[in-house]
Chains A and B, each alone.
Chain A
Amino acid sequence: MADNSLSAPAPKLSPGLRASLPVLVLLVAGFLAPLVTVAAYAFATPKSFDVFRSFTLQNFASIFDPSNSVWTSFVWALALAFACVAILLVVCYPIAFGLNKVFGKWSGLVSVLFVFPLFVSENVRLYGWVLFFIKNGVLDGALKWLGFSGGPELLYTPGITLFGMVYVYLPFMLFPMTLGIAMIPRDLVDAASDLGAGRFMIWREVELPLAMPGILIGALLTFVLAAGAVAEAKILGGQSVITITQDIEVAFTYAQNWPMGSALALILVLIVSGLALSAMARLDLDKILGKR
């Protein structure tokens, strides 16, 4: 039997398929299986582990029950994510532009400075900010030492949560954007200027549209990451706002209600992927790059 399968190529796999088999196995086992499990749990009996054996819509019914306030967590998560992306767009564009056109030989160093924090765990960095903003911490203490009345009460507010998210996700916006701006051919900017366009018109009509693939990819990446953010709201925000990821975490841990956690997770995945896909549909890379 073994001989047979070796000599005769019974399962006719194309060379491409055979070569991609390891990746396919990895994707199915590591990517698809957990998703399927989560999706299955979402339809299991509440507060049980009867996955694949029970089917009920009770989890969803209780989420959509008007008396359940979990929707505020969705709103907070998405609102913070949108705000985070909006702020990052404004903050990163000048830096990305500088990395391409202004900093010259220093741009390598500047890039490294932006990458460097990624080597330190996100939680550690966030606790660092806590030490910075906390009463009698770096900011407050320094101001008092200088004779001022002390720093503002920033910690444990939604605002500081947003600040933390902007801080943590900045590289994920910055680098795709930098690549996007690097894709603008120098000749096109020169040509636009040569044809009489001023700085603003060149930016609006030439640079921005041509950098758009990079900008949109950065926005998409940071939005997806920010929508699933939890550490910023817990550590810096002190749970002044509860994001949906935190609700999901609680359902899986303290509450031991995996079906509820899965149902929430499934809804989050649907919302985020729906938003991301609708953005992707507008992002016609081929058209932007002029290949079609």
Chain B
Amino acid sequence: MSSVAASALSDSSAVSKTPRPVLQLVDVRKVFDGFAAVDGISLDIEEGEFVTIVGPSGSGKTTLLRMLAGLESPSEGYITLRGELINDVPSNRRPTCLVFQSLALFPHMTVGDNIEFPLRVRKMAPEERRKRALELMAKVRLPEDYYSKNVMLCSGGEKQRVALARAFAYDPDVLFFDEPLSALDYKLKKLLEKELKDLHRESGKTFVYITHSLEEAMVMSDRIGVMRAGKVVQIGTPEQIYSTPADRFVAEFFGEVNVVPIRRADGGWLRRDGKPVAVAPDVSIDGDEASVVIRPEYMRFVTEEAGADNTLTGTIFNEYSLGSRLQYQVRSRTGRTFLIEVPRAAAWKGNGEVTIGWDAGNAIVVGG
């Protein structure tokens, strides 16, 4: 076993580039009662990166994070931190810190005592601890007089800041976040996302964040990994993930999209209704089945003056206002529902039947 470990480690260090990754995962698996919550993940996280793992609930992202934090140990595979194998290093000996979804603030302690907890572990002198706690409170924008406040009397956003300050007090190399913003209202969430991003930049620390919200991931991350059923199906910059999703799952996960199944025929592609589909010339797909993914904002109403590469007809059966933009649900003749989003100025004036379409260059073609 140890020789296997050694070879796997030397392999992975041979693969790693400079700068050397802070965290490296090699074929990490976690099996609970025969169920693989995490099913073979290999991932390099670079120094100072903000990496977000997104995925629906049950995709194994929390288990992955708990293994990184040392609260679970992997069933198989290797996790290294700065080149050292940490598979079985307990959480209290790892230079990493996890901000829990529940925040896990100590309810019987004041704000100050919560933040000072990791400093008490290190037996720092009381005055020094207090000084450091107040510095951190300023950093996360908590008023100084909250120092002796009962932490359970703080609002949701304030608790968030306390949890952050406490994590920073530990002074970890890597910070993990398990959907800490999920319980907050939209406005506060937006504010804290920005603050978190600022903190990331100022501190220069490595952040690994998990969420099921695409929006959160897009706003904050340098790279996004998409998880599904225990595997990372795609990892890349937000731009890459958005514009070139690896498959239909990633495309659909990243917001509302229109999906048109197509099949290969005579060097071209056909829709289910037999009409040919124009796809971008650089599309290369293995296999005969594929899907065209079109985001609603790339769908438009087709008129005689403004045609499109691909068109279809249907009837509008729903209209939503998104403020400056309008969304329509159009049911095609074959019974599929399409979503189309246009600027308010391009609102559909007519009624009854409409023709909608998209240009080949605006669609994404994914296998399967």
Residues of A in contact with B (beta carbons under 8 Å apart): 185, 187-188, 190-198, 201, 205-206, 209-210, 287-292
Contacts and interface: CB of A to CB of B under 8 A. Distances in A.
Of A187, A209, A289, most B-chain CB atoms within 10 Å: A187
Interface in B52-106: 69-71, 90-94, 96-98, 100, 102, 104, 106
B92 A198 contact: yes
Contacts of A201: 120-121
B100 A187 contact: yes
A70 B170 CA distance: 60
B91 A190 contact: yes
Contacts of A291: 152
A104 to B, nearest CB: 13
Interface of B: 69-71, 90-94, 96-98, 100, 102, 104, 106-108, 117-118, 120-122, 150-153, 166-167, 170
Contacts of B98: 190-191, 194
A194 B99 CA distance: 9
A197 B117 contact: yes
Given A290-B152, A291-B152, A193 B104 contact: no
A185 B69 contact: no
A290 B151 contact: yes
Contacts of A289: 107
A194 B150 contact: no
A132 B115 CA distance: 56
A205 B117 contact: yes
Given A195-B170, A196-B170, A187 B104 contact: yes
A194 B72 CA distance: 12
Contacts of A190: 71, 91, 98, 100, 104
Contacts of B122: 196
Contacts of B104: 185, 187-188, 190-191
Of A185, A195, A287, A291, most B-chain CB atoms within 10 Å: A195
Contacts of A196: 92-93, 118, 121-122, 170
Contact of B117 (A192, A210, A288, A290): A192
B86 to A, nearest CB: 13
Contact of B92 (A187, A197, A210, A292): A197
Nearest to A292: B150
A292 B152 CA distance: 7
Given A194-B71, A198-B92, A209-B108, 20 more contacts: A188-B104, A190-B91, A191-B98, A191-B106, A193-B90, A193-B91, A194-B69, A194-B94, A194-B97, A195-B167, A196-B118, A197-B92, A197-B117, A197-B118, A198-B121, A201-B121, A210-B107, A290-B150, A290-B152, A291-B152
Nearest to B100: A187
Contacts of B150: 287, 290, 292
B117 A188 contact: no
Given A209-B108, A290-B107, A195 B100 contact: no
B162 to A, nearest CB: 12
Nearest to A209: B108
A210 B97 contact: no
14 contacts: A187-B104, A188-B107, A190-B91, A191-B98, A192-B117, A193-B91, A194-B70, A194-B91, A194-B92, A195-B117, A195-B166, A196-B92, A291-B152, A292-B152
A68 to B, nearest CB: 47
A210 B106 CA distance: 9
Contact of B121 (A187, A195, A292): A195
A206 B104 CA distance: 11
B67 to A, nearest CB: 13
Given A196-B121, A196-B122, A205-B117, A288 B108 contact: yes
A245 to B, nearest CB: 37
Contact of A195 (B97, B102, B153): B97
Q: Give me the 8 closest cross-chain CB pairs, A-B, nearest first.
A: A290-B107, A290-B152, A191-B104, A187-B104, A195-B118, A196-B121, A194-B91, A193-B92
Contacts of B71: 190, 193-194
A227 to B, nearest CB: 29
Contacts of B170: 194-196
Contacts of A194: 69-71, 91-92, 94, 96-98, 170
Contacts of B153: 292
A197 B122 CA distance: 9
Contacts of B100: 187, 190-191
A143 B94 CA distance: 55
Contacts of A292: 150, 152-153
A288 B108 CA distance: 6
A201 B117 CA distance: 10
Contacts of A205: 106, 117, 120
A101 to B, nearest CB: 15
A201 B123 CA distance: 11
Given A185-B102, A193-B92, A195-B121, A290 B97 contact: no
Nearest to B94: A194
Contacts of A206: 106
Contacts of A197: 92, 117-118, 121
Contacts of A191: 98, 100, 104, 106
Nearest to A198: B92
A71 to B, nearest CB: 40
Contacts of A192: 106, 117
Contacts of B93: 196
Contacts of B167: 195
